[in-house]
Amino acid sequence: MVVEVGCTSSNSDDKKEDIFREQYKNKWMTFVGVVEGIDGDVLSINCDMQGISDVRIEFDDEKSIYEIKKGTLIKVKFAMRKIGGCIESFQGDKGEIVQKDLSMSEMQNEMFKK
């Protein structure tokens, strides 16, 4: 997804928007990454271990993420809603924790699954 519509994509902005709308918007996604921030019912996750958070996910119940700590390796499922870029994160909602406290090897295995 990032290759096609992310910050470093070589596609034009219009093409990125079209690809995102057709292939990713309103689709259920599963991401793994490191928790960068928790703000009420929103979890920010860094998936590529570079720079800032890559995705911001809203949860229906903030209690479901209340005990999660920054730096936790996590796997989440959510509905993708908004394209990200170089400055803003991708955004989604309906977040669900699939697995928390992953080991680094589990996270790497998840990242390279096809």
**What's the pLDDT tens digit per position in 27-51?**
999 999 999 999 999 999 998 888 7
Neighbours of 54 (CB within 10 A): 22
The tokens for 30 are 């599963």
Per-residue pLDDT for 112 more than 80? no
Q: With contact defined as beta carbons under 8 Å apart, do 91 and 56 qualify?
A: yes
SS3 label, residue 63: helix
pLDDT at residue 7, as a whole number = 87
- Residue whose entry in the numeric block shows the structure tokens 């170089």: 86
Q: With contact defined as beta carbons under 8 Å apart, do 32 and 48 qualify?
A: no
Residue 19, beta-bridge partner list: none
